[in-house]
Amino acid sequence: MKRSLTTTLSTFAIGLSICASPAFAQHEKPEKSQTEAAPAKPSKPAKQLAQKTVTKDASVTIAGKQIDYTVAASRITLKNTKDEPRASLFYVSYVKKEVKDAIKRPVLFAFNGGPGSSAVWLHLGALGPKIIPTSTDGTTPLMPPITVKDNPLSILDVADLVFIDPVSTGYSKIEKNGKPQEFHSVDGDISSVGDFIRRWITENKRWSSPKFILGESYGGVRAAGLASHLQSRYGMHLNGVVLLSSLLDFSTVKPSNGNDLAYITYLPALTATAHHHAVVKGDRDKLIAEANTFAYGEYATALLKGNKLPAADKNKIAAKIASLTGVSKQIILDNNLRLSSTRFRKELLRSKGMILGRFDARVSWNGISKSSNYPSYDPSFSVAKGAFSTAMLAYLGDDLGWIDEQPYEILTGKVHPWSWGANNRFVNVAPKLVDALAENPKLKILVQCGHTDLATPAGGILHSINHLDLPKALRDNISVAWYDAGHMFYLNQPDLVKCRKDLVNFITSATKAP
């Protein structure tokens, strides 16, 4: 049942758009975000450094219980068949101490996306025993500088944690016998992270442990690929895969001439956002359900008709979209019924001079250019970037004692050019998830979705999930959890509480004997 990754050469824009953030940068319109990381030339192989590890014993209180653990910051060097170093991957691990049958304790590997993002967002934003403080709802920045504090909502009480920085991110680097093209591609990335996981499992004697992987954003593409790769290449069957604010098929979020699917998948998120800002009123969940039904019904039919859609029907559809999004009917008609999320972010609160966030559309800040039809930056990314950058460097250097002469690449363009593959097709790793479930029917999948995520809207991955070619028994292995905020919904404190509960239940159920 092995299938190759379907990929796309559709544009350099897809690759550039993704590296700018934990997920993707703006992809519908050309106005570039001010926070976007500029593409860079592939870095030269770094000089080989001596392998080193720093460890520290600490404790944190989770769910009223003290959890003693050992934290380690280190690198694992990947080698070629001649035993020469190709790349070294930096990671930070947290292992609970004094555990009975420690080798059978669950271990979870986590990473963010990009491509070009380190694992700092999941590491210090949600899962680890240290966390970066945020405002209660995560929509406003705190006074800098920001330092980490204990995280009582960490999942370290139920699983050991390993946060991986893929090649060229964080402190991970290409060594003298490696080449950028070996790692900066869909398949090369999956292979190198898979090799890292195999090595960590082997060196830490954890083959008998239940194993989980969690990927955010493009990390979901990596996670789906790994679910198949790890078991086919190394015989490593996973217990669970978590897809947090992820996607599987780029055609669901990347509109193009002749591909209107993204307008359908985005619509419910636009409705949820308009409701949050009180532009559209009523019961939120009913409105979202209405938007979903309309999107896959009348709206999809209208888009399929293209220019053959009668004028009366076009006016009717435009009026309905306006009622669900709060954007004027005329703007929707001017855009031929195709309201991009980028235009929506500028239009919804234009009368107030505000633009919306892309990662979290609950965030609204003053727009810079009043005349432009598109936002020039993403305020929701601005909320997080500075805090996470400062806190991560202080934590690694001051708390853990990891000193490195290279800068920590939190977000980088060094992974570009990124190879998406050939044959003029979109990246789609959904078949890899099908392969993994078919060969490992005990594998559980948790899909985590934020209502106001306009980077990787929930509609995209849910469309992919609904179209997986699986029997019902295996489709039942997949569950979906919802959160009020956006892409990094865990920055919203109520969502972080729910996220912990959902993950604890997922890990517990996925390791429970029938």
Per DSSP, helices labelled H in 348-452 are: 379-394, 430-439
Q: Which residues of 153-184 are buried (b: 16+ CB within 10 A; e: fewer)?
A: bbbbbbbbbbbbbbbbbbbbbbbebbebebbb
Q: How far apart are CA 280 and CA 287, in angstroms?
A: 9
Q: How far apart are CA 218 and CA 224, in angstroms?
A: 10
Q: Report the 10 Å Cβ neighbour count for 70.
A: 14
Q: Could you tell me the sign of the dihedral formed by the alpha carbons of 447, 110, 392, 102, in that order?
A: positive
Sort 469 into a burial class: Cβ within 10 Å, 0-12 / 13-18 / 19+.
exposed
- Of the chain, the end-to-end C-alpha distance in Å amounts to 27
Number of H helices, E strands in the chain: 15, 14
Write down the pLDDT at residue 401.
93
Alpha-carbon distances, residue 20 vs 181, 187, 357, 514 (angstroms): 20, 20, 14, 43
Phi-psi region of 245 (alpha: psi -120 to 50; beta: other; left: phi over 0): left
Q: Report the 10 Å Cβ neighbour count for 138.
A: 25
Residue 137, φ and ψ in degrees, nearest 5 = -100, 0
Q: Report the 10 Å Cβ neighbour count for 76.
A: 19
Write down the pLDDT at residue 371.
76
Partner residues linked to 54 by β-bridges? 73
- Write the DSSP symbol of residue 252: G
Q: Report the 10 Å Cβ neighbour count for 427.
A: 22
3-state DSSP call for residue 71? strand
Q: How many CA atoms lie within 13 A of 167 on its CB side?
A: 36
Q: pTM of the predicted model, to two decimals?
A: 0.91
3-state DSSP call for residue 172? coil
Partner residues linked to 409 by β-bridges? 170
Q: Quick one: which of 170, 73, 180, 123 has its CA closest to 409?
A: 170
The encoded tokens of residue 332 equal: 């929707």
Q: Considering only the C-alpha atoms of the chain, give the largest distance between any 2 of them, rounded to a whole number of Å.
A: 71
Q: Quick one: which of 391, 409, 456, 489 has its CA closest to 118?
A: 409
3-state DSSP call for residue 69? strand
Q: Quick one: which of 230, 18, 246, 240 has its CA closest to 122?
A: 246
CB of 8 within 8 A of CB of 425?
A: yes
CB of 325 within 8 A of CB of 271?
A: yes
Write down the pLDDT at residue 21.
38
Would you say how long the chain is, in residues?
514
Write down the pLDDT at residue 376.
83
Q: Report the 10 Å Cβ neighbour count for 292.
A: 18
Q: Apex CA 78: angle with CA 77 and CA 80, to 5°?
A: 135
User: pLDDT tens per residue, the chain (514 residues)?
Assistant: 444 444 332 332 333 344 343 333 333 333 333 333 444 444 444 443 444 899 999 999 999 999 999 999 999 999 999 999 999 999 999 999 999 888 889 999 999 999 999 999 999 999 999 999 999 999 998 888 899 999 999 999 999 999 999 999 999 999 999 999 999 999 999 999 999 999 999 999 999 999 999 999 999 999 999 999 999 999 999 999 999 999 999 999 999 888 999 999 999 999 999 999 999 999 999 999 999 999 999 999 999 999 999 999 999 999 999 999 999 999 999 999 999 999 999 999 999 999 999 999 999 999 877 778 889 889 999 898 889 999 999 999 999 999 888 899 999 999 999 999 756 688 999 999 999 999 999 999 999 999 999 999 999 999 999 999 999 999 999 999 999 999 999 999 999 999 999 999 999 999 987 7
